[in-house]
């Protein structure tokens, strides 16, 4: 798809300095640009690449306009504008409505006429597939599960029975939604499974990365709010609740019944223990561990960075004796006071 | 399914105070209860919910009986009794024996007459599927693999060749059993793969959560004991052995050739390094790292909880100099002694 | 397959002491050996097993030859030689060329005549499947994706559109290659997805473990170099680059745009933050966290091992006050100086 710089400026609310009629066909990085591409600039470290780029145009803010002599699309937020331009030039593939001949769709499933059910997909009894939904190749949609209009499941997604996915969601391959939560009670040195009878209820505009798992609730539901973004390999245990527009990076794990607020941000590999509450607008940096409720908005951390292994070994040994070290300091202070 | 309170009391070995003939149809939480539901109470924090519940009956212990005026099912262990009641009221869906017309089952696979093979499933040469087994939609069962009676595989489970799954196991979607272990030997700055020729051997009553992976052994087998419970996204490397009735929470990783005892409990995201031994009845709390053998039963930890990021940054920097700090303390002590 | 000790010695460049005509059929551990097996010895802790083994022959180095009276295959590197012997005695199953009748292959996909496309596999428009490639059961190969000759995909692998897999790669079940990277820009307290338009480009001789995920690049590509080995449940974010012959153990996570050098080694559960660079020949030990560029080859760590939970609790509390402790030491030093 080719669009003129003028059309793109209209889409993003920007202003052209240069040839507004110039057509571009794709977005690119500064490095991989060419006369058919529009790129963007905001990182001063890339200033030398900006000078050398062969792009048809560059998206940048007015302060940076002097650094580029070619066609400029001036905006207040280049990253945001560029994302919208990318979406305009590279729209998602159009839906191909219909049920593939190899799909197995139960006669009591309701499939919107303009939905697309891919090859080898299985849709069970009573499932409801909304308008414009894509159920990708080899997906599984359990009985009674509802998928809202405009949502797209990539290949090999599994959604178990009686779950709800909202509208305009995107679900990557290998995602498992609605598996049984991990609930056991001890009985005579063995573990008895507690039936997991709740659902997973996912709001609108949620995006879920590859191989992420979201377990169904034990009695009540696991709830993912509108606009939540989940990266790959995230584990969400039963009865977790995640507030609207929170964003979780790769490999985050949230234990059972934790309640996460709105607009929270969790870095990669953050661990959140169970039965605690995190208020709105909390940020937790990568690999940190939340062991208690966080009731005050702010930024929290507990990451220990690497150092040379020989030095680290000595420091790690000291950590194991840190309380004793502290007591020695106290003793020194007491002796000095005398 | 509706059962009377009297019938439920018989199932769990409890005693009814109230109307033993009252029928209930489902279990629920205190909050989501109703006149068709039985709920349970044991957490004093929920005492106000207990007073307000509309449940037909409440399961509780005799000490708590005075706090609820309605029908009571008195037991010594409410959580255990409630799990059994939930299973009685909400039995798993009955098996639908037979091989789906779309499944691809090798002519030399042995399928019990009352087993259920789902749509798009693939069962290879020499596989043995026991009585009452469910192989879910889009599952893969490799050649020579045996699945014991009563075991159920959810959708999209992969079990490679020559593995053994015991009886009455439950395996969630996305699980991969029997992939090649990660074994390489260096050769001229490259890595040569060591053929992985062992099996995965899984006992009875094992439950495995979504997207968990269990690699086959290199020469000998990877072994999962009877009654072991594995949560989601757990990684079990080649030649690991896990003793009976141990329980591993989400995202635990166990490196190669580690031997874990019986009745151990591992919290979420615990890491266990390879070639070590953990004795019976060890508990390791969430996110901790086991780097050496644990030969004494007990509870072990190494989790560093979050704190405010500005404070943490200073503390983390001190950790990198902790050995030097300790030496300064020693010097102070020596000077004071003089 | 049976081979004589003499044939095996020729394969590995070793020397037989004993009966070079003796046939063996399989490799085994010392414990599980028998008269049809060849085993190997290098770990002095297993010396008693060596004495008792029933193996037809043992692979060992000349220094250890005196410890075993039976047939010996003398080599300089027993582990390497044994890997080659295992591959010779246990070759991978031969390819069965052809497209399974249940596979769905687009008419514009190019499938080499000797490639094997398994049951329920889906191969989309414009995909190119090279000579001797195995696309396992229930795999998905997206449009325009190329798979080089000799590569093998186990069951249920997903490779999205326009990706490239080199020659002689091995990809385990549940792997997801080419899912959209995790890129969002904030807009009015919500998150706008940035279209992910790059590819995943994987070199030759790469091996990828079960349920590992490798995201496609945002604009440019995610790149995995020749000979890289990835264990299970690894997460590789968009625009990561991994240099040739690096090896990553289970559950490693690499955040976006990190650049990893050649011949690096990362232990299990290592976390690598985004937008940093790691030079060649770096080793990072298990569970450590890399938060900054590592520009000097060497060994790095930050793992905190477990200790008794009661002791740990006190030490962890001290970590949260470590900066204050250090300041108390400084104050003591100042007072003593006076």
Identify from A168, A268, A314 which residue to disrupt to test chain C contact, counting C C-beta atoms within 10 A and taking the largest count: A268
B173 contact A CB<8A:
yes
Among chain C residues, CA nearest to B291: C305
pLDDT bucket at C152, cuts 50 / 70 / 90: very high
Distance CA C333, CA B251 (A): 46
Distance CA A58, CA B151 (A): 60
Residue A53 shares a structural domain with residue A172: no
Nearest Cα residue to C40 out of C26, C51, C50? C50
Among chain C residues, CA nearest to A262: C189
Q: What is the ipTM of this complex?
A: 0.97
Residue A150 shares a structural domain with residue A276: yes
**CATH classification of the domain holding C202:** 2.160.10.10
Dihedral of alpha carbons C170, C174, C175, C176, sign: positive
* Mean pLDDT calculated for residue range B179-204: 97
pLDDT, tens only, A49-103: 998 899 999 999 999 999 999 999 999 999 999 999 999 999 999 999 999 999 9
pLDDT bucket at A337, cuts 50 / 70 / 90: confident
pLDDT, tens only, B231-274: 999 999 999 999 999 999 999 999 999 999 999 999 999 999 99
* Count of A-C CB contacts under 8 Å: 219
Residue C176 has pLDDT above 90, yes or no: yes
Last residue of a domain, one of C41, C59, C89: C89
pLDDT bucket at C161, cuts 50 / 70 / 90: very high
Residue B105 shares a structural domain with residue B48: no
Distance CA B181, CA B222 (A): 10
Determine the structural domain holding residue A19 and report its residue range.
3-89
With a CB cutoff of 8 Å and minimum separation 6, the contacts of A238 are: A181, A182, A183, A196, A198, A215, A216, A217, A218, A222, A256, A257
Residue C233 shares a structural domain with residue C324: no
Given A26, A120, A287, which is nearest C271 (Cβ)? A287
**C269 in a structural domain:** yes
Place of tokens 């990266």: A231
Strand-by-strand arrangement of the B57-60 sheet: B15-17, B72-74, B57-60, B37-40, B26-27
pLDDT, tens only, C259-310: 999 999 999 999 999 999 999 999 999 999 999 999 999 999 999 999 999 9
Residue A138 has pLDDT above 90, yes or no: yes
Contacts of C102 in chain A (CB under 8 A): 102
Distance CA C224, CA C286 (A): 21
Residue B84 shares a structural domain with residue B102: no
Phi first, then psi: give them for residue B321, nearest 5 degrees.
-120, 25
**C113 in a structural domain:** yes
> No. of H helices and E strands in chain C?
5, 40
Distance CA C250, CA B137 (A): 28
A273 contact B CB<8A:
yes
Nearest Cα residue to B211 out of A236, A212, A184? A212
Question: CA of C208, closest CA in chain B: separation in Å?
Answer: 9
Distance CA C268, CA B271 (A): 8
| Average pLDDT score over chain B | 97
Residue B13 shares a structural domain with residue B124: no
Given A156, A179, A255, which is nearest B154 (Cβ)? A179
Nearest Cα residue to B143 out of B157, B129, B156, B126? B126
Which token pair is A205? Answer: 């505009």
Touching C (3+ Cβ pairs <8 A), the chains are A, B
Nearest Cα residue to B26 out of B11, B8, B14, B38? B38
Residue C125 shares a structural domain with residue C240: yes
**pLDDT for position A338:** 79
Residue C331 has pLDDT above 90, yes or no: yes
Nearest Cα residue to B123 out of B108, B101, B106? B106
Beta carbons of B311 and C326 less than 8 Å apart: no
Among chain C residues, CA nearest to B338: C336
Residue B173 shares a structural domain with residue B121: yes
Identify from A126, A140, A142 which residue to disrupt to test chain B contact, counting B C-beta atoms within 10 A and taking the largest count: A140
**C305 in a structural domain:** no
| Average pLDDT score over chain C | 97
Beta bridge partners of B128: B110, B146
* Mean pLDDT calculated for residue range B29-51: 92
**B30 in a structural domain:** yes
Cα-Cα-Cα-Cα torsion A203, B234, A180, B201, nearest 10 degrees, comes to 150
pLDDT, tens only, C103-116: 999 999 999 999 99
Distance CA C54, CA B1 (A): 60
With a CB cutoff of 8 Å and minimum separation 6, the contacts of C4 are: C20, C21, C22, C23, C24
**B81 in a structural domain:** yes
Q: What is the pTM of this model?
A: 0.98
Distance CA C170, CA C207 (A): 5
Our measurement of the distance from residue A217's CA atom to the centroid of its chain's CA atoms, rounded to an integer in Å, reads 21
**B305 in a structural domain:** no
Distance CA B192, CA B37 (A): 60
Contact (Cβ atoms closer than 8 angstroms) between residue B237 and residue B259: no
Distance CA A7, CA C173 (A): 45
Residue B193 shares a structural domain with residue B75: no
**pLDDT for position B338:** 79
Contacts of B291 in chain C (CB under 8 A): 286, 303, 305-306
A303 contact B CB<8A:
yes
Residue B131 shares a structural domain with residue B243: yes
Residue C121 shares a structural domain with residue C9: no
What DSSP line would sit under C104-148, residue for residue? EE-TT-EE-TT-EE-TT-EE-TT-EE-TT-EE-TT-EE-TT-EE-
Contact (Cβ atoms closer than 8 angstroms) between residue C133 and residue C112: yes
Beta-sheet pairing, A110-111 with A128-129 = parallel
Residue C238 falls in the annotated catalytic set: yes
Beta carbons of B319 and A319 less than 8 Å apart: yes
Domains of chain A: total: 3
Last residue of a domain, one of B89, B120, B144: B89
**pLDDT for position A51:** 87
**B306 in a structural domain:** no
Residue A294 shares a structural domain with residue A330: no
Strand, helix or coil for residue B248: strand
**CATH classification of the domain holding C33:** 3.40.1390.10
pLDDT, tens only, A210-241: 999 999 999 999 999 999 999 999 999 999 99
Contact (Cβ atoms closer than 8 angstroms) between residue C80 and residue B185: yes
CB atoms within 10 A of CB C179: 27
Among chain C residues, CA nearest to A169: C193
**C124 in a structural domain:** yes
């Amino acid at each position: 798809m080719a669009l003129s710089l003028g059309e793109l400026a209209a889409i993003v609310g920007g202003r052209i300095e240069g040839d507004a009629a110039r057509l571009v066909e794709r977005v690119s990085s500064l490095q991989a640009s060419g006369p058919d591409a529009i790129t963007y600039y905001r990182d001063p470290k890339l200033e030398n690449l900006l000078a050398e780029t062969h792009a048809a145009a560059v998206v940048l803010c007015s302060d940076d306009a002097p650094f580029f002599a070619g066609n400029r699309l001036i905006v207040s937020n280049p990253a945001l504008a560029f994302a919208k331009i990318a979406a305009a030039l590279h729209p998602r593939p159009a839906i191909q409505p219909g049920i593939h001949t190899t799909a197995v769709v139960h006669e009591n499933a309701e499939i919107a006429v303009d939905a697309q059910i891919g090859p080898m997909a299985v849709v069970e009894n009573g499932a409801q597939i909304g308008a414009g939904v894509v159920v990708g190749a080899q997906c599984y949609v359990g009985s009674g599960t509802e998928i809202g209009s405009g949502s797209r499941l990539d290949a090999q997604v599994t959604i178990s029975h009686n779950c709800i996915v909202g509208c305009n969601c995107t679900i990557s391959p290998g995602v498992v939604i609605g598996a049984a939560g991990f609930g056991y009670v001890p009985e005579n040195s063995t573990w008895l499974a507690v039936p997991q009878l709740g659902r997973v209820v996912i709001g609108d505009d949620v995006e879920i990365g590859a191989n992420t798992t979201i377990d169904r609730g034990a009695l009540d539901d696991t709830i993912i709010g509108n606009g939540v973004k989940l990266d790959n390999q995230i584990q969400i245990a039963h009865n977790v609740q995640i507030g609207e527009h929170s964003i979780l990076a790769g490999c985050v794990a949230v234990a059972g019944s934790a309640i996460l607020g709105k607009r929270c941000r969790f870095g990669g590999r953050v661990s959140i223990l169970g039965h605690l509450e995190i208020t709105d607008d909390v940020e937790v940096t990568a690999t940190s561990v939340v062991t208690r409720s966080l009731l005050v908005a702010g930024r929290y951390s507990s990451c220990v960075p690497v150092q040379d292994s020989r030095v680290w070994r000595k420091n790690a040994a000291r950590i194991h004796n840190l309380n004793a070290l502290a007591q020695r300091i106290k003793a020194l202070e007491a002796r000095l006071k005398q």
